[in-house]
Chain A
Amino acid sequence: MDDLIVEFLTETNEGLAALDLDMVRLEQNPNDKELISSIFRLMHTIKGTCGFLGLPRLETVAHRAENVMGRFRDGNLQVTPEYVTLIFESFDRIKMIVAGLEETGSEPQGDDSALIEKLDAVYEGRDGNTQNTKDGSKGDGKEDELQALFDATPVLPQDQWHTIVTVPEGDEGDAAKAMEEAAAAPPPPPPAPAAAPAAKADDHGAKASSGPVAEQSLRVNVDVLENLMTLVSELVLTRNQLLQILRAQKDTEFSGSLQRLNHVVSELQEGVMKTRMQPIGNAWSKLPRIIRDLSMELNKKIDLVMEGENTELDRQILDMIKDPLTHMVRNSADHGIEMPADRLKAGKLETGRVVLKAYHEGGHIIIEIADDGKGLPLAKIKEKILKNGLATEEEVASMTDQQIQQYIFKAGFSTAEKVTSVSGRGVGMDVVRTNIEKIGGSIVLKSVEGKGSTFFIKIPLTLAIVSALIVEAAGERFAIPQLSVRELVLASSKSSIKIETIKGTPFFRLRDQLLPLISLKQLLGLENDGGDDENRYIIIAQIGAYQFGIIVDKVFDTEEIVVKPVSNILKNIEIFSGNTILGDGSVIMILDPNGIAKAMGETDISDANAGKKTAQDENKVEKTSLLLFTTADGTPKAVPLSLVARLEEIDTAKIEMSSGTAMIQYRGQLMPLMPFDSSVNLKTPGKKPVLVFVDETSTMGLVVDKIVDITDEIVNVQVAAGAGGVIGSAIIAGKATDVIDVGHFVRSSNKDWFKRHGDEAYGEQSTEGRKVLLVDDSPFFRNMLTPLLKVAGYQVTTLESPLHALQMREDGEKFDIIVSDIEMPTMNGFEFAQKVREENSRWKDTPMVALTSHATPQDINHGMNMGFSRYIAKFDRDTLLSTLSEALVSNDASKVKSAGGLQ
């Protein structure tokens, strides 16, 4: 593209940005003559250049807009919001044409006649506005000619005229002096861009007319500065290298010079960094216009206050936060600030305020975006959380307000009822947070319902040179940005910090939080060489509010490193955010904690207690721990692990026979052994695994061929086999597995196995023939318990759902005792108990025992209130039988009592 056009584009874009700002100001101060003049001058310059470069479309629009501005300047047209909107429209049109010009190198085709007509109508006083009358002469041509003549004539600008003209009458001598003074006075500074490094066409430089006096400045191409930056970085690295060598040596003649070099390089680095610094006001320049348009669109009154706009930050960072800032300001306007009427009702001023603040703190820039609107609607957020299934009701109830507020950072989250053009699409805050975290920053939210919300963004001053901690894993070194390292911890058997495992995932306890851990070696697929299992160094990394630990082998020191982007080929490995050259010349990769967190599978980054949650979740899922084993025929078999007391291995040579039963001496007692089936040969020499079942004083060993595994699965017994010893088949670990009936085996070994409980206190009669109703939706448990109960002498009826049970009640069936689960899909145990205890229920007095995995004091209380006589935890086999008998006996006793006599 033509160099001239390129320059034009840069200047015009800058001009347009300044125009936006000025127009907004003008609207608020309609009589500010200075403002009007400066706007007029800008428009004029643009028009002139367009004409010169042969850009007719632009020239026309600019010219017509300038005409209207001229009328403002002449003072015969009042600046009203409607006119301001019209001028904005013309700015937008110019922007659009310029964009097209940028893209293709020539003006895009288009028709501006509608806009032109509007502008002309205003200019000529025929727009229907009674206040708008163009005085006197018609004949635009003539006026324009005059105007053109005026502009073409090199004269002193208007304000200087005043200086000359207002000399007191009759004072000739002074008049001469005054004229001299006026002539000597420096002309007002031309509207040159003040900002030092000029970015590409769409950057916004601060114009002299809109603020501070133009500083001495120079336009420098961005590439030149980038190059300079790279060279200085190299210099820094070389200096680091030299310093390292120097450290290793004693005093040499190099020391002095090197120290001086060190200082100079540090200063040079600082200086060059400064060239990349731009005032944050540049990122804010578009916001006044946006707020103005939004207030119009939403019919709200909003003021934008900007403090600290001269706070400087790195150009690169500026680019990256521009969009997030815009988004948040729009959010404040759309969601935060209420309608004027609502504000008055709430006792606030009609006009809402959005305050932007920026200041330095430590090595960071803090940006605050605050509004005095209605704050985050907690109720709505809670609703959204539940609706999107992000947490359960109980979890939500136990969260603090702050934790709930954090949910707005989740993808797809938006409590806006309607998607407006402004916001509501729910793609906002998570993207904002990601962008901010990408540059090593963080965002925190504080909100009080009814009062307002404030966002605090903290970003590092510069991206290029970063403090990093050097660590080692599997013999390779890596760098982690110091910013993300919260703490460094040593876990060893001697220290108080231990690594625990929950379901195979390592966690560790830091003060009172459970943090997930990841081994860096593992994550990177490196060999497990080097590093010491005794001592592990854990780097506690923090991303936003999410913390986790990275296990490494060694930790070295912190170094200032120059971040270099990874090669294109490697850019999709999210774990690395760059690479660098250390003082000793070696290349190392820089880890990205964000990428590591993602690789851990924890994309949820708002809950620091993820570990705790997982542990809690466990109880809710009904998985059974199963021991898998095989016998000679190789078919897999399973037994609930909770029933197995111990796993032993015996030498078949030690097996002794006693009255036909195989026995072995075990822990000072004789333990009867039973082969699982005929395929298990007790006579073959060698070792065989034994499942030991224990019950108070009885012990029994079930001999199998091979223990395969222990697994946790949701057991769904599908086929009920007829053969004694097997409850049925289920799919476990992907294979069809026989689930064995432990009861069968232990009874075969000792027919009194289960009867031990009942014999002394309760005669056989009391339980013989009693009818038990067992209600449980899990076929496994029904199958598990039935033999147990049968063996104890009960007549067992099993049902899947309380609804069937209630049906039976209607059909006239009666039971001696009801055993029921709590968690059932069709109707839960509490409701069932309630129904059973209803006034005219036939089963009103039947003892009910709850058998469930929910056994907290609340549950038990609740159960009792609902009508359960007893409440026991599942798989507590011992307690079940004793409880049943006990419940029956006490029931009998109470019945007998009420009948007025002893049995």
Chain B
Amino acid sequence: MSAVTTLERMESSSNTRELLTLNVGDQIFGIPILQVQDVLGAQKITRVPLAPPAIAGSLNLRGRIVTAINMRACLGMPDRDAGAKTMSVVVENNGELYSLMIDSVGDVMNLPYSDYEKNPATLSPQWRSLCQGIYRLKDKLLVVLDVPRLLEGLQPQE
């Protein structure tokens, strides 16, 4: 984690940061590229019975067990039609690997910090807790995902 932040700091000194864009439903999201470990295509996922609905299951990534998170469920969107291809973005949190299941990935964008804005007031509370901020792109809004917060939120309440 400290490696990432150092690099991020280096990035900020250049006034832009690189985000991997991804699509879930009609919304475009961004994750700082340095948080992304892998981008995967469709995977064989083992269901975990009795798990919360946001957990799609587990998958095997080069010998490590990765927990698959259904992003649509997290964001309160309906599931995709069966048969639609999914992609996943693998991130790490607290030593564990998670695979965020999304619709598709987009490009890596290099966006200036000056365009970074706080969450608009109109953002739903559910999304507000998952989003760090937004970027205004030419014709749409890009929401920056707060991955650690998303994953913390899924932990069982003690």
Contact (Cβ within 8 A) A569 B67:
yes
The listed residue with most A CB atoms (<10 A of its CB), out of B44, B65, B151, B154, is B65
Contact (Cβ within 8 A) A476 B49:
yes
Q: A567-B96, A569-B67, A581-B65 given as contacts; is B46 within 8 A of A589 (CB)?
A: yes
Within 8 A of A (CB), among B54-75: 55, 57-60, 63, 65, 67
Interface residues of B toward A: which range?
Answer: 20 to 34
Contact (Cβ within 8 A) A588 B46:
yes
Within 8 A of B (CB), among A544-568: 564, 567-568
Rounded to whole angstroms, the CA-CA distance of A570 and B63 in the bound complex is 19
Q: Report the minimal beta-carbon distance from B99 to chain A, rounded to whole angstroms.
A: 11
The listed residue with most B CB atoms (<10 A of its CB), out of A476, A567, A581, is A567
Q: A572-B156, A587-B46, A589-B46 given as contacts; is B63 within 8 A of A237 (CB)?
A: yes
Q: A567-B96, A568-B155, A585-B60 given as contacts; is B67 within 8 A of A476 (CB)?
A: no
CB of A604 closer than 8 Å to a CB of B: no
Contact (Cβ within 8 A) B51 A573:
yes
Within 8 A of B (CB), among A231-245: 234, 237-238
Contact (Cβ within 8 A) B55 A570:
yes
Rounded to whole angstroms, the CA-CA distance of A580 and B46 in the bound complex is 11
Q: A238-B63, A587-B58 given as contacts; is B49 within 8 A of A526 (CB)?
A: yes
Would you give the 0/1 interface string for A356-382, flagging 1 where the beta carbon is closer than 8 Å to chain B? 000000000000000000000000000
Residues of A within 8 A of B51 (CB): 569-570, 573
Residues of B within 8 A of A347 (CB): none
Contact (Cβ within 8 A) B60 A569:
no
Within 8 A of B (CB), among A563-595: 564, 567-573, 575-576, 579-581, 585-589
Residues of B within 8 A of A585 (CB): 44, 60
Contact (Cβ within 8 A) B67 A581:
no
Q: Please give me the residue from chain B that is nearest to A234 by CB atom.
A: B63
CB of B48 closer than 8 Å to a CB of A: yes
Residues of B within 8 A of A588 (CB): 46
Q: A564-B65, A569-B67, A569-B156 given as contacts; is B60 within 8 A of A581 (CB)?
A: yes
Q: Report the minimal beta-carbon distance from B50 to chain A, rounded to whole angstroms.
A: 5
Rounded to whole angstroms, the CA-CA distance of A644 and B158 in the bound complex is 53
Which listed residue (B48, B60, B94, B156) contacts A586, Cβ 8 A?
B60
Rounded to whole angstroms, the CA-CA distance of A571 and B48 in the bound complex is 12
Rounded to whole angstroms, the CA-CA distance of A511 and B55 in the bound complex is 42
Q: A526-B49, A570-B48 given as contacts; is B154 within 8 A of A587 (CB)?
A: no
CB of B149 closer than 8 Å to a CB of A: no
CB of B118 closer than 8 Å to a CB of A: no
CB of A525 closer than 8 Å to a CB of B: yes
Rounded to whole angstroms, the CA-CA distance of A567 and B151 in the bound complex is 11
Which listed residue (B50, B65, B94) contacts A525, Cβ 8 A?
B50
The listed residue with most A CB atoms (<10 A of its CB), out of B49, B51, B98, is B49
Residues of B within 8 A of A575 (CB): 49-50
Within 8 A of B (CB), among A476-497: 476
Within 8 A of A (CB), among B24-52: 44, 46-52
Rounded to whole angstroms, the CA-CA distance of A70 and B55 in the bound complex is 66
Residues of A within 8 A of B59 (CB): 587
Residues of B within 8 A of A564 (CB): 65
Rounded to whole angstroms, the CA-CA distance of A823 and B49 in the bound complex is 48
The listed residue with most B CB atoms (<10 A of its CB), out of A476, A526, A581, is A581
Contact (Cβ within 8 A) B156 A571:
yes
Residues of B within 8 A of A237 (CB): 63
Residues of B within 8 A of A567 (CB): 58, 65, 67, 96, 98
Q: Report the minimal beta-carbon distance from B128 to chain A, rounded to whole angstroms.
A: 21
Within 8 A of B (CB), among A504-560: 524-526
Q: Report the minimal beta-carbon distance from A832 to chain B, rounded to whole angstroms.
A: 55
Interface residues of A toward B: which range?
Answer: 20 to 34
Contact (Cβ within 8 A) A569 B63:
no
Residues of B within 8 A of A579 (CB): 58, 65
Residues of B within 8 A of A576 (CB): 48
Contact (Cβ within 8 A) A476 B46:
yes
Rounded to whole angstroms, the CA-CA distance of A586 and B46 in the bound complex is 7
Rounded to whole angstroms, the CA-CA distance of A576 and B58 in the bound complex is 13
Rounded to whole angstroms, the CA-CA distance of A572 and B55 in the bound complex is 14
Contact (Cβ within 8 A) B48 A589:
yes
Contact (Cβ within 8 A) A570 B46:
no
The listed residue with most A CB atoms (<10 A of its CB), out of B57, B94, B151, B155, is B155
Contact (Cβ within 8 A) A573 B50:
yes
Q: Please give me the residue from chain B that is nearest to A233 by CB atom.
A: B63
Contact (Cβ within 8 A) B60 A587:
yes
Contact (Cβ within 8 A) A569 B58:
no
Q: A587-B58, A587-B59 given as contacts; is B50 within 8 A of A569 (CB)?
A: no
Q: Report the minimal beta-carbon distance from B91 to chain A, rounded to whole angstroms.
A: 13
Q: Report the minimal beta-carbon distance from B150 to chain A, rounded to whole angstroms.
A: 11
Within 8 A of A (CB), among B140-156: 151, 154-156
Rounded to whole angstroms, the CA-CA distance of A581 and B94 in the bound complex is 21
Residues of B within 8 A of A524 (CB): 49-50
Residues of B within 8 A of A568 (CB): 94, 96, 155
Contact (Cβ within 8 A) B50 A581:
no
Q: Report the minimal beta-carbon distance from B132 to chain A, rounded to whole angstroms.
A: 21
Contact (Cβ within 8 A) A569 B155:
yes
Residues of A within 8 A of B44 (CB): 585-586
Which listed residue (A569, A581, A589) contacts B154, Cβ 8 A?
A569
Rounded to whole angstroms, the CA-CA distance of A570 and B67 in the bound complex is 9
Residues of A within 8 A of B155 (CB): 568-569
Rounded to whole angstroms, the CA-CA distance of A262 and B60 in the bound complex is 23
Rounded to whole angstroms, the CA-CA distance of A568 and B94 in the bound complex is 9
Rounded to whole angstroms, the CA-CA distance of A329 and B49 in the bound complex is 41
The listed residue with most A CB atoms (<10 A of its CB), out of B47, B50, B155, is B50
Q: Report the minimal beta-carbon distance from A596 to chain B, rounded to whole angstroms.
A: 12
Rounded to whole angstroms, the CA-CA distance of A283 and B62 in the bound complex is 37
Q: Report the minimal beta-carbon distance from B20 to chain A, rounded to whole angstroms.
A: 23
Rounded to whole angstroms, the CA-CA distance of A588 and B55 in the bound complex is 15
Residues of A within 8 A of B58 (CB): 567, 579, 587, 589
Would you give the 0/1 interface string for B8-23, flagging 1 where the beta carbon is closer than 8 Å to chain A? 0000000000000000
Q: Please give me the residue from chain A that is nearest to B151 by CB atom.
A: A569
Q: Report the minimal beta-carbon distance from B56 to chain A, rounded to whole angstroms.
A: 12
Q: Please give me the residue from chain A that is nearest to B44 by CB atom.
A: A586
Rounded to whole angstroms, the CA-CA distance of A581 and B96 in the bound complex is 16
Residues of A within 8 A of B154 (CB): 569
Q: Please give me the residue from chain B that is nearest to A526 by CB atom.
A: B49
Residues of A within 8 A of B52 (CB): 569
Of all A-B residue pairs in the complex, the 6 with the closest CB atoms, nearest first, are A524-B49, A567-B67, A572-B156, A587-B58, A587-B46, A234-B63
Interface positions of B (Cβ within 8 A of A): 44, 46-52, 55, 57-60, 63, 65, 67, 94, 96, 98, 151, 154-156
Can you list 26 A-B pairs with a CB-CB distance of less than 8 A?
A234-B63, A476-B47, A526-B49, A564-B65, A567-B58, A567-B65, A568-B96, A568-B155, A569-B51, A569-B52, A569-B151, A570-B55, A570-B67, A571-B156, A573-B51, A575-B50, A579-B58, A579-B65, A581-B63, A581-B65, A586-B60, A587-B46, A587-B59, A587-B65, A588-B46, A589-B49
Known: A237-B63, A579-B65. 4 other contacts (CB 8 A): A525-B50, A567-B58, A568-B155, A589-B46
